Each structure stands twice: as structure tokens, then as C-alpha cells.
Amino acid sequence: MDATALQRFAIRPLRRDDLDTVVVIDAASEGRSRRAYFQRRLDAALREPALHAQFAAADDKGLAGYLLARVLEGEFGRSAPGLRLEVIGVRGDVQGHGVGASLFTALCDYGRRHALADVRTAAAWNAHRMLGWFDAMGFTLAPNYVLDCAVAGGQYTPERDDRVTLPDGQGPADEIDYGGRPGNDFERLARDCADVHAMQPGDLADIVRIDRSITGLNREGYMKHQLREAMNDSAIRVSLTARLEDTIAGFLMARVDLGDFGRTEPVAVIDTIGVASGFAHRGVGHALLSQLFANLGALQVERVETVVGPQDLALLRFLYGAGFAPAQRLPFVRRLA
């Protein structure tokens, strides 16, 4: 891409009055209008500007393209902040003229100015045009696993029994700190095994305590932001806490993606899950998943997705045991250092 092509477009922050044109450009690409999704993303950026990076490219005809990204703080076990590229769109008559490259350059510059480590994103394995663009922008495959599971109308039905024995007497594969399951009546778990409710602001101290015991990090700022999003938009954030013996024993933070990465149907993404060590092997993790699936079924969300690092073997065992499997999506990373 030559420098003159890149200089044709003025890059600026995305504004509220760009919404109509963003929806038109997106609909031309996706074949349907996703106005509600973009409205929510713009509203979220106005509420929490430090957690969002949204750019517009303009030419003499108006809006030529847009890019939406969010700041990753502690999602998926992260210890260093980064960026998550969620949506990029370019007006049909200027595709191939460097609009996307200009927008991505602006995003990388933003990340470096704010000491962010990298840009993460994902795409379906057969989205060939998008994969080619990622390659041109310097992305490489990320060392993570993208897992997903069908919601099946809200019925939580793990695909296998839990009698898989691990080496060295470690016990069943999913009996880890995220909560083993005591039986196969999964719908009963949310009712009887633990008292599972929507996350509330008063839960923050216990959530931070549990997370610190698992990660060794104080991620109170990240947890505060997640809670605030849950309070501001319950249609997007579906986060839960589980109580046993009159104390919070575990938590699960999830959100509904209504259009990220070219998705045309809503998908729930689990950002963080944790169970206090004193309540391990008592079904807390599965109780949280059971209630999450019930809630998502009511919202007509069909799939749940998450990203797991290759070193997090305990969480991988738990999720595989709960019915998750490798997704048809690939994770990518572009380092900013």
C-alpha cells in the first residue's frame, strides 16, 4: 500500500452522529442491519472512554470506514492490558484503498501511547478475506485455545461423564477448583448445589478476593469495570455469583457479543470464572454454568465461547468436561512492543 493512498483519509474518533452511516456500511457487508449492536457499542464507549478505542476514516464523501476495539484488562486470565479488535468496516467504493490499514495504524498508535501490549482478535477459519487482511497487518496465530459449546435452548448438558481419571491420583478430570459435579442432574445444580444470582456491586470484595487467590494478582480495577458494565447493560453482561454457607463461593463473568468479529448471531463470551479453594469439588463451577445456560436460553443466545491459555490445564479440563470443544474460530495477536 503506497503512502499517498493512506494519506487520503482523515482518521478521527468515532462519534455518535456517525451511527447511521456505520449501520449502512455494515449492512452492505453483512446483509442485515445491526443498529442495536452498534448503538450499544457507541454508548459503552461514551460511558467508559478509557476502555474503548473507536476510530473513523473520512474522505470528501463522508465516513469511509470505522474500527471498534476495547481494552482488555483481565479477561481470559490476562495479566497485562491489551486491545481486542472487534469490528472493522469499509465503504464499498473505497475498499482496497488503504482505509482498513489507516484505521489499524491508528489503533496500534493508540495502544503504544497507552502502554498496551498487543492487539488480539479472532475470525472463522474459512473467512479467507479477513485472514488475508490479518496477515497483511502483521497478525500471527495466538497461543490460545478458542472453545465453545451449544446452549441448546438453556439446557446444560455436558457431553461426557465425569469418571475420567487423571494421572498421579488427581481424580476425575473436572474435579478442580472451578467445581466438580456431584451427579448428572445438571439442572438441579443451580437450584440446590449453590445459590446462584446475578452479580451485584456488593459482591466486589469477595470476587476480588477469590480472583487474587487464583491468579496471585490484585485485579480490582478490572472487576469494578466488569461490574459497572453488568449494572449498566444487563442485555450485554450476564455475570453471576454463587453462594454456599452464606458466603460467595464462586463467580462467572460473561457478556453477549451481538456482532463482534463478523458474527451475525449473538454469542456469549465467558471472560472470567473462579471458585474459592475452600469450596472446590462441590459443584460450584457447574452450578454457575447451569444458571448461565438457563439465562442465555431465555435471551435466545445459541452458543457460549471462551479463550483459554495453553498453560491453564485445570480450566481446560473443566471446560472440556463441561461439554466445550474447539471452536471453528482462530485467535490472532499483533504485538505492539
Note the pLDDT of residue 172.
38
Task: List the chain domain ranges.
Answer: 3-116, 146-327
Calculate ∠ Cα 56-62-65, nearest 5°: 35
- Short-list 14, 108, 7, CA closest to 56: 14
Note the pLDDT of residue 240.
93
Which residues fall within 8 angstroms of residue 328, CB to CB, at 6 or more apart? 124, 125, 126
pLDDT along the chain (337 residues), means of 10: 58 95 93 87 87 95 96 71 93 95 97 95 93 97 94 70 34 40 46 81 92 87 81 74 93 82 77 90 91 89 91 90 93 93
Domain 146-327 CATH class label? alpha beta
Whether domain 3-116 has CATH 3.40.1110.10: the reply is: no
Note the pLDDT of residue 235.
59
Calpha distance 130→126 (Å, rounded):
9
Calpha distance 220→71 (Å, rounded):
16
Note the pLDDT of residue 233.
66
Given a contact cutoff of 8 angstroms between Cβ atoms, the answer to whether 269 and 70 are in contact is no
Given a contact cutoff of 8 angstroms between Cβ atoms, the answer to whether 331 and 146 are in contact is yes
pTM (whole model) above 0.85: no
Note the pLDDT of residue 260.
66
Note the pLDDT of residue 293.
92
The secondary structure of the chain in percent helix, strand, coil, rounded to multiples of 5, reads 40, 30, 30
Same fold yes or no, 3-116 and 146-327 = yes
Note the pLDDT of residue 77.
61
Note the pLDDT of residue 159.
55
Please provide the distance, in angstroms rounded to a whole number, between the alpha carbons at the two ends of the chain.
23
Instruction: Return the C-alpha cell found at 144.
Output: 490460545
Note the pLDDT of residue 188.
53
| Dihedral pair phi/psi, residue 311, rounded to 5° | -85, -15
